[in-house]
Amino acid sequence: MTGPRVSIQTADFDLSAEVAALRAHDKGVGAVCSFVGTVRDRNDGQSVSTLELEHYPGMTEKAIEAMIDEAHRRFDILGARVVHRVGLMQPLDQIVLVAVTSAHRGQSFQACEFIMDYLKTQAPFWKKEQTPEGARWVDARVSDDAALARWGIAASNA
């Protein structure tokens, strides 16, 4: 892959274009696995009208780059790309893309899930939801001990 592995941006992304760029010119790619996360209209039983994500520029990209490096160490993958949006978003808007290429599907599936679990539990994002009761900050780093344990990561390291 030529281009950045990580993009933090306010603009929406095009799944087809991102996947095409990730696999371009690599004849060894036999599998592409992708995950797209979207804004829901509910969280913890409450209606959500908007979601606002903030990050610390530089720190967030560095943390996600480290996640991708770890995925390369653990799995036989050829490339990976993470696009994460920040700013104000509405229900149905795309938030995150994780795409992974490999020679065989199993490694792509595993690496994609690993990167997504790592993003949900360790990436430095701050999330504010607008609900009928007003705005509320919620922990964007959802603690999922089972997801961490699956990858051999202690919850205390999250």
For the chain, what is the domain count?
A: 1
Instruction: Please give the single-letter amino acid code of residue 129.
Output: E
> Within a domain: residue 74?
yes
What are the tens digits of pLDDT across the range 39-96? 999 988 889 999 999 999 999 999 999 999 999 999 999 999 999 999 999 999 999 9
Model confidence band, residue 153 (pLDDT cutoffs 50, 70, 90): confident
- Cα–Cα distance measured from residue 117 to residue 144, given in angstroms and rounded to the nearest whole number: 8
Q: pTM of the entire structure?
A: 0.89
Question: What CATH number is attached to the domain comprising 39?
Answer: 3.90.1170.40
The whole-angstrom separation of Cα 136 and Cα 133 is: 9
Which domain covers residue 129, as residue numbers? 6-157
1 found inside a domain = no
> Is the residue at 118 inside a domain?
yes
Say if residues 71 and 100 touch (Cβ distance below 8 Å). Answer: yes
Alpha-carbon gap, residue 62 to 67, rounded angstroms: 9
